[in-house]
Amino acid sequence: MIELVAILRDRVPEAVLAHHAQHGDETVVVAPESLVRVFECLREEPELAFDMLMDLTAVDHSERADGPGDPRFEVVYHLYASTHGHRLRVKVGVAEEACELDSLAPAWPAADWMEREVFDLYGIRFRGHPDLRRILLYDGFEGHPLRKDYPKTRRQPLVGPCDS
């Protein structure tokens, strides 16, 4: 883990904001500006070789017990190295006001649908995504239901067929 962080710090200085290994899950928190370069480094460095983007999701920290999270959202990536068999979690904070992050989809095709899902359910926009539209919900749905301030009981009428 220390080695991984050292490699990352060497290749992309200022990228790693924090790191921990809770329950054995290696985790690094990186700065949003260096996200794309961090992922490039994680894939290209032969000792790291994280080639599979297994999961991409977000967490809304606005109802955290110790006060609202800052920044409000956290986008969470899970990586797997198919040759070495190790895993890594990468987390990036996303502020509520801008609500934007660089897209990984151009370089990581696996991110395409998962970024669309995060956009759909959390309203986080991914800069540079080739086709950012809703995926699980329909066009015309109002709001982003996995945000903590979206009431579970809210009902929305199903709109008619949309053109696509």
Partner 1 sequence: MSEIPRPWTERLPAGDEGQSGRGLHTATQRLNMGPSHPATHGTVKFLIELDGESIVDLDVQVGYLHRGFEKECESGTWYQAIPYTDRLNYNSAILCNLGFCLGVEKLLELETPERCQWLRMLAGELARVGDHLTRCGATCLELQAMTPFLYGIEARELTWDLLEALCGARVTSNWVRIGGVRHDLPEGFGDACRDKLARIRRLLADFDAVVSRNRIFVDRLKGTGVLSPEDCIRYAVTGPLLRAAGVPLDLRKSEPYLRYEEADFDVPVGEVGDNYDRYLVCLEEMQQSLRIVEQCLRQLDRMGPGPVDADDPRVRWPAKDRVFNRMEEMIQQFKGVTEGPRVPAGEAYQAIESANGELGFYLVSDGSERPVKVRCRPPSFLNLQPLPEMVRGGLLADLIPTFDLINMIGGECDR
- For residues 130 and 79, the answer to whether their CB atoms sit within 8 Å is no
CB of 33 vs partner 1, minimal distance in Å = 24
Structure tokens at 48: 């790291």
- For residues 82 and 38, the answer to whether their CB atoms sit within 8 Å is no
Pattern 62-91, binding to partner 1, x per CB under 8 A? -xxx----------x-x-x-x--x-x-x--
CB of 7 vs partner 1, minimal distance in Å = 21
Binding segment (CB under 8 A) for partner 1, from list 9-17, 29-37, 47-55, 96-104: 47-55
Strand order in the sheet with 73-80: 16-22, 25-30, 87-94, 73-80, 52-60
DSSP 26: E
- For residues 117 and 103, the answer to whether their CB atoms sit within 8 Å is no
- Is residue 110 involved in binding partner 1 (CB under 8 A)? yes
Please identify which residue in 5, 32, 57, 99 interacts with partner 1, judged by CB under 8 A: 57
H helix and E strand count, the chain: 3, 7
Interface positions with partner 1 (CB under 8 A): 22-23, 25, 27, 51-55, 57, 59-61, 63-65, 76, 78, 80, 82, 85, 87, 89, 108-110, 112-114, 121, 134-138, 145-146, 150, 152, 164
